[in-house]
Structure 1
Amino acid sequence: MKAYQTLLYYCYSPIEDAEEFADKHLAFCKSLGLVGRIIVADEGLNGTVSGSPESCKAYMDAIYADGRFNHTEFKIDEVDEPSFIKMHCRYKSEIVHSGLRNPEIINPNKETGIHLEPQDFLAMKDRDDVVVLDVRSNYEHNVGRFKNAVTLDMENFREFPEKVKELEQYKGKKILTYCTGGIKCEKASALLLKEGFEEVYQLHGGIIKYGKEAGGEDFEGKCYVFDNRVTVDVNSVNPVVVSTCKNCGRTTPKMINCANPDCNEHFTQCDDCGEELEGCCSAECMTHPRKREYDGTGYYVKVPQPVNAEKISKRKHKNFSIQK
């Protein structure tokens, strides 16, 4: 057993006084010695926390003891060191940014796609009447995705409602949605049903659970995760590398954040280009006065970005191509 664990989880369950809950929950996590990132909203919880096995067990026990969250499913990874540096617990309007905030229109507790366990997903995914749909963002599916999956050109999940119109050609087929842990699929599948897709499914527990229970078969590349690890291996059956270096085009599984904090783009880069560009996505970013020191990992603690940073990111993300 390794010295630490990392827990990935979410739970759609209404929380009264969610802002107050977030403050108290942060104090509770710190009392256990946990580090991580938790989003609290009126609609529920979304978190990744890391700590000793004892602390993680105490946390899971407390979540289950709260009657609102006793249907939470934790994905547990054994890790050599904590997957975060600090503990954050913040109140936001949604536990996953989607723009679908009206519970009267989209409510995962009332209607969502049929949940498929990993082995059932594996059995269905290659059928002629099935479309496998990746509902994650560009930087996520560029480093890893299911073989033959349909991907969408999205910088973030908030764009998904607008992208649904591009899927009209697949009406009449079974739609199998997937994401990292399952949380995005809860709303994505619900929206697809609302938009007239009749048979919609979702991979229960997401890519992470699929890797643990189905060996990750036919998931090509690595899975992007939202912590210090950046990406994790999933496929122990027939692994391949599908991502290429943004700068030179050589095959590489490594994903980093640009060392320019105003850019902070997620992109794949080989070690040689990483050394040459000092962890930057371009020569332009190398000249930034606040460029962060590149240590070979390409992971940095997030810093507030100026208003024009979003424009920089959008311009750079256009370089990614749609994979189908």
Structure 2
Amino acid sequence: MKKFQTILYYCYSPIAEAEQFAANHLLFCKSLGLTGRIIVADEGLNGTVSGTPEACAAYMEAIHADERFAKTEFKIDDVEEPSFIKMHCRYKSEIVHSGLRDTSIINPNEKTGKHLEPAEFRSMIDQEDVIILDVRSNYEHSLGKFKNAVTLDIENFRDFPEKIAELEQYKDKKVLTYCTGGIKCEKASALLLHHGFNDVYQLHGGIIKYGKEAGGEDFEGKCYVFDNRIAVEVNSVNPTVISTCYNCGTTTAKMINCANPECNEHITQCDNCGEELQGCCSAACVSHPRRRPYDGTGYYVKVPQPVHESVK
């Protein structure tokens, strides 16, 4: 039995005085001995936390006890060690940055795509009038995606609104959106509806839930996750590897962050190139004076950068 758990969740629910809530919530998480990363905004919560099963259970109980978050769903993974080193809980303008100046045009609590449970999603993905749309970033879908999914050339989700024009040809199709845990789809599907797409759906619980409840069937490759695991297996039915090494083109499912902290590029890299380039994406990054020691994982704890007195 594994000694720790990692739980992924989100909840769109208005939070009054959200900035103060974030500060108090950080203290609560630390009191439980949790590590992780939580974003708090006026519109809700988005988090991944890790700790002992007892600590995670206490955390989930506390979240559910708050009527604002009573319907929150948690995706739970058993892990050998905590998936984070530190605990962060920060206030931001949105729990998923949409890139919109006017965020009032999308409110997942008012209008969003129809939720599909994993079994329903699986039954629809091969239909002729269906388009499967990946709303994640390039480095995520390059590592793994659903078979025949439409992907977008975006570096961050905030680029998604600008790409909707490229999807006009699918307006009369059933558009099935998906992401890692479901949170991005809430806004992506709402935005598609706002732009006149008529039949929009989203995979409830995202890839992670699909892997647990539908065996991950027809998901090709691995799923990128935002903790020190970097990537997790999804498909236990018909698994395959679709990603290739950024440097040599060899098939590999390993993803890293470039060891040069000023680059920090997300890339897939085979072990041979990892050793040769010391976890860097290029020779230029290998020679960078601030290059971080490469331990074979390609995961690095974020270290706060010094702030100059003049901009404090």
TM-score by length of 2: 0.97
Q: 1:79 aligned to 2:79?
A: yes
Q: Distance in 2 between matches of 1:61 and 1:203?
A: 25
- Shift, 1:305, TM fit: 7.0
Q: Distance in 2 between matches of 1:221 and 1:305?
A: 34
Change (3 A) 1:297 1:7: same
Q: Deviations over 1:283-320 (max 9, x none)?
A: 010010010000000000124579xxxxxxxxxxxxxx
Partner of 1:89: 89
Q: Deviations over 1:157-211 (max 9, x none)?
A: 0000000000001110000000000000000000000100000000000000000
User: What's the secondary structure of 1:104's corresponding residue?
Assistant: helix
Q: 1:20 aligned to 2:20?
A: yes
Q: Distance in 1 between matches of 2:207 and 2:172?
A: 25
User: What's the secondary structure of 1:98's corresponding residue?
Assistant: coil
Partner of 2:163: 163
- Shift, 1:100, TM fit: 3.6
**Residue identity in the other structure for 2:98:** S
Q: Distance in 2 between matches of 1:48 and 1:160?
A: 23
Partner of 2:109: 109
> What percentage of residue pairs aligned between the two structures are identical?
79
Q: Distance in 2 between matches of 1:4 and 1:153?
A: 36
Q: Distance in 2 between matches of 1:81 and 1:100?
A: 38
Partner of 2:264: 264
Change (3 A) 1:101 1:2: farther
Q: Distance in 2 between matches of 1:151 and 1:54?
A: 39
Give the unaligned 5+ runs of structure 2: 307-312
Partner of 1:225: 225
Q: Distance in 2 between matches of 1:256 and 1:244?
A: 12
Q: Distance in 1 between matches of 2:305 and 2:240?
A: 35
Q: 1:176 aligned to 2:184?
A: no
- Shift, 1:99, TM fit: 2.0
- Shift, 1:98, TM fit: 1.1
Q: Deviations over 1:114-151 (max 9, x none)?
A: 00000000000110000000000000000000000000
**Residue identity in the other structure for 2:124:** M
Change (3 A) 1:52 1:281: same
Q: 1:251 aligned to 2:245?
A: no
**Residue identity in the other structure for 1:236:** S
**Residue identity in the other structure for 2:282:** S
1:262–1:305 Cα contact (<8 Å) kept: no
Partner of 2:8: 8
Runs of 4+ in 1 over 4 A off after TM superposition: none
User: What's the secondary structure of 2:297's corresponding residue?
Assistant: coil
Partner of 1:286: 286
Partner of 2:138: 138
Partner of 1:200: 200
Residues 309-320 of structure 1 correspond to what in structure 2 (within 5 A)?
Answer: none
Q: Distance in 2 between matches of 1:197 and 1:305?
A: 43
Partner of 1:314: none
Q: Deviations over 1:219-263 (max 9, x none)?
A: 000000000000000000000000000000000000000000000
**Residue identity in the other structure for 1:145:** K
1:278–1:294 Cα contact (<8 Å) kept: yes
Partner of 1:68: 68
The count of aligned residue pairs is 306
User: What's the secondary structure of 1:74's corresponding residue?
Assistant: strand
Give the unaligned 5+ runs of structure 1: 307-324
Q: Distance in 1 between matches of 2:22 and 2:37?
A: 11
- Shift, 1:103, TM fit: 5.0
Partner of 2:38: 38
User: What's the secondary structure of 1:184's corresponding residue?
Assistant: helix
Q: Distance in 1 between matches of 2:229 and 2:294?
A: 16
Partner of 1:316: none
**Residue identity in the other structure for 1:291:** R
User: What's the secondary structure of 1:46's corresponding residue?
Assistant: strand
**Residue identity in the other structure for 1:37:** R
User: What's the secondary structure of 2:139's corresponding residue?
Assistant: helix
- Shift, 1:2, TM fit: 1.1
